[in-house]
Amino acid sequence: MLLKGYTLEIFKSKCQADARGVHCYAHLEQDVSECLPYLNSVLGGFEFLLDPPAVTFKAQGKMITVHGQKIAVNALKDETEARKIVEWLKNEINHAWAEKEHIQPSTIGMPKPGIIEILKLLPKTNCRECNEPTCMVFATKVAEGAKGPDDCPKMEEKENQKLTQYMGQFNLDL
């Protein structure tokens, strides 16, 4: 087993003190840097940094970055959710490491969705019914995997299908 344990640090966003939810860091007891290219292949990370190595991907509407000795997860409901996601990641890291002889390692990020492409399919009324201040902010959240076409109640069925199809090209929700 590569990763044996970690210590969780749960905190509120400093830039958005009034925002709901928490962020978390898991400080890892072992350095998992060598496993990151394998984890990237398995989970389809959209960004891979080489020095120092880090892979970022989306899962369950969260943005997750795995560094050599730290995992960062944003927009969590509470500590229970943080523990669940970090424990899942620990298993994924250990599984990728155990299976590394059968996995082609990759340091290349997957293509990302274009915010403007998403915005083109939205009603662009800035009506706020999605609880976002503008359609542009909503488009940014969709690109990050934090919101989906069904979260805009003003979208026509045709546009909803087009957006679903467009987003289906990207590995945003594992």
Q: In the complex, which residues of this chain contact ligand SF4 (CB under 6 A)? A: 122-123, 125-130, 132, 135, 138, 152-154
- Rank residues 21 and 123 by Cβ distance to ligand SF4 and give the closer one: 123
Tell me the closest approach of the beta carbon of residue 117 to ligand SF4, in angstroms.
Answer: 14
- Rank residues 4 and 128 by Cβ distance to ligand SF4 and give the closer one: 128
Tell me the closest approach of the beta carbon of residue 75 to ligand SF4, in angstroms.
Answer: 18
Residue reference for tokens 């344990």: 5
User: What end-to-end distance do the CA atoms of the chain give, in Å?
Assistant: 23
- Rank residues 79 and 129 by Cβ distance to ligand SF4 and give the closer one: 129
Cis status, amide bond into 52, omega within 30 of 0: yes
Tell me the closest approach of the beta carbon of residue 160 to ligand SF4, in angstroms.
Answer: 11
- Rank residues 112 and 128 by Cβ distance to ligand SF4 and give the closer one: 128
Tell me the closest approach of the beta carbon of residue 167 to ligand SF4, in angstroms.
Answer: 14
Asked if 130 contacts 63 with a C-beta cutoff of 8 angstroms, the reply is no
Closest CA to 91 of 133, 159, 161, 39: 39
What lies within 8 Å, CB to CB, of 32 at 6+ separation is: 2, 3, 39, 66, 68, 69, 93, 97
